[in-house]
Every structure is written in structure tokens, then in C-alpha cells.
Amino acid sequence: MIEQIYKNVLKPVFFKFDPENVHDRMMRTGKALGNTGFGRALTRAMFYYEHPSLRNNVAGIDFKNPVGLAAGFDKNAQLYKILPEIGFGHAELGSITGAPCLGNPRPRLFRLPQEKSILVNYGLYNQGADVISHRLASARFKIPIGFSVAKTNDPSLGLEEGIQDYRKAFLRMHHLGAYTTINVSCPNTSDGITYQDPNKLDLLLKAIAKEKHLKPVFLKIKSDFTQAELGEVVDIADKHPWVTGFIISNLRTNRVGMNTSKEQLDALSPKGALSGLPVQAQSNNALSFVSKRTDKILMGCGGIFTGKDAYEKLKNGASLVQLVTSMIYEGPTVISKINRELVNLIQADGFARISEVIAEARS
Ligand SMILES: Cc1cc2nc3c(=O)[nH]c(=O)nc-3n(C[C@H](O)[C@H](O)[C@H](O)COP(=O)(O)O)c2cc1C
């Protein structure tokens, strides 16, 4: 019923307006609902679902279900009070950078409904690690919250300054969350540089290695990779036991084989990268490859719209999954829908709990 209201009434209205304006309005609504007991209870009554078979301990953290919010939806960490009531098992907030970032000029988000995708050219818009860490200094979180950190989108920063910027964001955010993600794969920086390049990644990890690692640390990587390139990234990270695992993957940068032509995409945003369904197959391939290459813990992200999509990521080696785009296209009911479908899939395959599915996939 709520799903139908979202799809047939709210979504057609939302989709008439600029995506970023709609998103900003959603943020204000979510923040307001999270700030009152009534708002939280109402949201919980409408969306929340849990089932014992979905509970799991991953990297020493207890999760009520495997479905998390991926980075990029709550860039300034404002929704942490309402996200647990919608039914997320965890949420990754950010990406948060060393200095505040205005991001790329607007418009920088474009809906591609025929692709079930968003073309994203945000460029790491956020208030920066000082403001956000100060605001959250005494916050308490109901579900595991991960903070994603990235390098400030400023092309004047050289390699060493870039590493120091990452380090600053890491130091500000690491102690606050249940885990920290180092986003080395943002595709929308104004200089187009990511720290996933093996030399840069090696230097970045050597710098962060010197800091205290109080919580699990994940690396978020892209899936536009040959297996050789992916293998190199994994091997570099494998030298660092404090790197707990990988989140696979970030947005897709290649525009090959889409229903929408490259020219049409270029006309919208030449630098934008793709979320949603176009990421699904390549991120699953990358996940499967990495799961055979390393014992590190994996989170699967990219194109999850159904329980079957999430289950496929678990079967490919993920212990947790994350999503953004399906929530934008289908509304917040998609989280409980995916969790319910997961319970059915786990039981249909003769498993009692999700940890058994994951253990079998990684054996
Ligand atoms: C609007 C938008 C903004 C995003 N911003 C970030 C970000 O700041 N940091 C990050 O690591 N990933 C970011 N992402 C990537 C998502 O976290 C995710 O990896 C990707 O969208 C694939 O998941 P999905 O298909 O469920 O959307 C963003 C995605 C979208 C759609």
C-alpha cells in the first residue's frame, strides 16, 4: 500500500522536479521526522521489518540485517536518527572530505529512468570533516554507522597534500562511527584523479597505516577494472592487515552498451558516472573476483533493487550489501521488501540464517 502510494502518487510528482531539489527536500523531511519521537515511531510503523535469520556479526559489529544505505545519500550525516526506523541494518554517511566542498556546478544529478540509474556528477559536495565531526561529537547511533572519507575536491592539492587531506578526514571521523570507509574511487573529482591508482593507493595506505585503527576500515573501489588492475589493488591492500575489507563498488564510469547513447549521456553530463542497474553486473563480477583473491570482508554495492539482487551479492562473497538508487526509484519500502525476500531466499535454499549463506560462499 505505502509502496503503491510512493510509486503512483509521490514519485510522479517528485520526478517532475530537479533531482537535487527533491533530494534536499527529502533530507529536510527525514531530519525533521528523526528529531521527534512521534516522527520516528510513525516511520517505524510504516517501514520497519526485522527477522532473526538476518542478524549477523560482521567484523565484530552486530547487524540486524545486511542491507545498508550506501554513501552519497546523506553526505552531511543528518539522517542518522531516521535511517534505523526505515529498516536499514547500517548506513554509510558521507563521503566527508578534509575541507568543506561545494562540489561541481549544478545541475549535477540526472535521472535515467529507462536505465534505472542516476547520472552523478556531485563532486563530493559536503560540509567537511571539522563541521561534521564537531556536530556528531556526542551523537548516539541506533544502528552501525560508517563514515566514508575522501579527498577534498580541489585540483590544486598535490599528492602529499591530498594524502594529508584524507588523513585529516580519517582522524576526525574514525573514532565516531562503527567503521570507516576510505573512498578511493570517487569518479567526479574536478581533476579526474582517484587514489585507486596503485602508486597513490600504496602511499595513501602507508600514511593511514601509521594512525590508530580503533574500528574496522574498508576501501571503496570502483568496478571499471580489468582483473589485472583489480588484482593489483587487492594485493596492495592485502599488505595492510588493518584494512578490514572492500566495498565493491562505486559508480560506473564507462558508457558502453547502455540503452541511452553515449552522445545523449555526454549532452547531460560528460563527466557524470552511473549508479543503479548499469553497475550491477560489473560490480558482481568484481565482487566475485575479489572474493576469490582475498580473505578480507566484502560489502556488495551496485544495482540492488530486489532480494534476489542482494542474495546474488551474498553468493558472490559479500557479507553486507548497500544501496542508494533503488530507494530513489522505489521509495523507502524497498528496504523491508529486500529483507523479506532475502528471508524467503535463505529458507528456500535450506539455510537457517544469513551467516550460513555467507560462510558457504566464502568457503
Ligand atoms: C547521488 C549519489 C551520490 C553518491 N555519492 C557518493 C559518495 O559521496 N561517496 C561514495 O563512496 N559513493 C557515492 N555514491 C555511490 C554509491 O554509494 C554507490 O556506490 C553506487 O550508487 C552504486 O549503488 P546503487 O546502484 O545502489 O546506487 C553516490 C551515488 C549516488 C547515486
pLDDT in tens, the chain (363 residues): 788 888 887 888 888 888 999 999 999 999 999 999 999 999 999 999 999 999 999 999 999 999 999 999 999 999 999 999 999 999 999 999 999 999 999 999 999 999 999 999 999 999 999 999 999 999 999 999 999 999 999 999 999 999 999 999 999 999 999 999 999 998 878 777 788 899 999 999 999 999 999 999 999 999 999 999 999 999 999 999 999 999 999 999 999 989 999 999 999 999 999 999 999 999 999 999 999 999 999 999 999 999 999 999 999 999 999 999 999 999 999 999 999 999 999 999 999 999 999 999 999
DSSP per-residue letters across 290-318: HHHH--SEEEEES---SHHHHHHHHHTT-
Q: Answer yes or no: are the C-beta atoms of 65 and 154 closer than 8 Å.
A: no
pLDDT for res 261? 92
Residue 188 pLDDT: 78
Span from the CA of 15 to the centroid of ligand 1 (angstroms): 19
350 alpha carbon – ligand 1 mean position (Å):
33
Tell which residue, 141, 125, 135, has the closest CA to residue 88: 141
**Locate cell 592485502: which residue?**
238
* Any atom of ligand 1 within 6 Å of the Cβ of 223: no
Q: Which atom of ligand 1 lies at the shortest distance from residue 23's CA?
A: 1
Q: What is the residue type of 107?
A: P
Q: Distance from the CA of 294 to the center of ligand 1, in angstroms?
A: 24
- For ligand 1, atom 30, the nearest C-alpha belongs to 72
Please tell me if the CB atom of residue 323 comes closer than 6 angstroms to any atom of ligand 1. yes
Domains of the chain and any CATH numbers? 2-362 (3.20.20.70)
- SS3 assignment, position 31: helix
Burial 262-275 (b: 16+ CB within 10 A, else e): eeebeeebebbbbb
